[in-house]
Amino acid sequence: MDRVWEAELRLPTPLVELRDPLFGTCRVLLKRDDLIHPDVPGNKWRKLKYLVRDARDRGADTLLTFGGARSNHVRAVAALGERLGFRTVGVIRGEERPTNPGLRRAQERGMTLHYLDRATYRRKSDPDVLAALHDRFGGAYVVPEGGTTPLAFPGLAELVNEFDRPYDAVVCAVGTGGTLAGIAAALPAGRRAIGISVLRGAWSLDAEVAALHRSVLGHPLDNWTIDHRFHCGGFARRDARLDTFLARFGDRHGWAPDPVYVGKALLGLSVLTGAGEFDGETVVAIVSGPGAG
Ligand SMILES: Cc1ncc(COP(=O)(O)O)c(C=O)c1O
């Protein structure tokens, strides 16, 4: 991988104690993965590192990926493509050709945007839809939505291996489940991972994480759970409880996590600690990056 690029990455990321009475007797260590790189922060780099390496090993010159109009992942792929010498194609959900600063920035980085109506987008992994994309954009290397593939696992293992203090559990936000799956797979014995789903009623996530474990490890794991209670209304929605939590957090700490992912994970952690879930334990909370926007 390009040495100049890798030298720009802030790795390992800091693991810093969060002193806040809100978390009771639980000691919270924030893993500041948001600081890895402004354009490819947090779980984006962790999940894409080995995918991009694989694309290069296979001689691909184009990365093609998928996302909503506000996808952090699409922006990160555009930035990586520009820096590492790949053409990039972003297949964006929605026929109305939305644009916003994030998509404009992706285009400035050389990404070709291609819009798919919602019905076709839902079928984006079907052979006919993929074949049409390959016809149009050449034999591009396909990076699935969110970058969740078995190739995300080694990057997430590197994240876990950076934890250099004793801990009992890890808490992270869950979108597609790839980050949680990779973290759980890398945890040493006796530690557990708790994912906070940012989606409303996304019960299928549990089966998807288990399926990832079966495909990568050959067996399921019992060291993780997903808590579905802190979606705050659904993806990218917010409610009064989240707003109050983030405002208080910002007043106390001088910065606030994003409301889309990390804010919900930390809100969940605070409620769980309030219920005595982590009494006397040390929890690593993953600041997986800035939110969509
Ligand atoms: C900042 C941030 N945190 C967490 C997640 C959730 O990760 P995953 O989709 O692997 O569950 C995402 C989604 O891409 C994200 O952008």
Residue 204 pLDDT: 97
**Mean pLDDT within 277-287:** 97
Residue 139 pLDDT: 83
End-to-end CA separation in angstroms for the chain: 29
**Mean pLDDT within 260-277:** 97
> For 142-189, how does the pLDDT look when each residue is reduced to its tens digit (9 = 90+)?
999 989 999 999 999 999 999 999 999 999 999 999 999 999 999 999
Domains of the chain: 3-38+149-286 (3.40.50.1100), 61-139 (3.40.50.1100)
Q: How far is CA 254 from the centre of its chain?
A: 24
**Mean pLDDT within 102-111:** 95
Percentages helix, strand, coil for the chain (3-state, rounded to 5) are 45, 15, 40
- 3-class secondary-structure state, position 72: helix
Question: Could you tell me if 196 and 220 are in contact, meaning their C-beta atoms sit under 8 angstroms apart?
Answer: no
Q: Is 289 in the pocket of ligand 1 (CB under 6 A)?
A: yes
Task: Return the residue whose CA atom lies nearest to atom 12 of ligand 1.
Answer: 175
Where does the chain have alpha helices with state H? 3-8, 43-57, 72-84, 101-108, 118-122, 127-137, 152-161, 178-186, 204-217, 240-253, 262-274
Is the model's pTM score more than 0.85? yes
Where does 10-110 have alpha helices with state H? 43-57, 72-84, 101-108
Q: Is 288 in the pocket of ligand 1 (CB under 6 A)?
A: yes
Contacts of 111 (CB under 8 A, 6+ apart): 74, 77, 78, 81, 88, 89, 90
- 3-class secondary-structure state, position 5: helix
User: 9 alpha carbon to ligand 1 midpoint, in Å?
Assistant: 19
Task: Return the residue whose CA atom lies nearest to atom 1 of ligand 1.
Answer: 289
- 3-class secondary-structure state, position 90: strand
Q: Which atom of ligand 1 is nearest to the CA of 173?
A: 4
- Report the alpha-carbon distance of residue 21 to residue 27 in Å, rounded: 10
Residue 241 pLDDT: 97
> For 21-44, how does the pLDDT look when each residue is reduced to its tens digit (9 = 90+)?
999 999 999 999 999 999 999 999
Output the DSSP codes for 19-32. Answer: --GGGTT-EEEEE-
Comparing CA positions, the residue from 127, 153, 133 lying closest to residue 54 is 153
**Mean pLDDT within 66-86:** 94
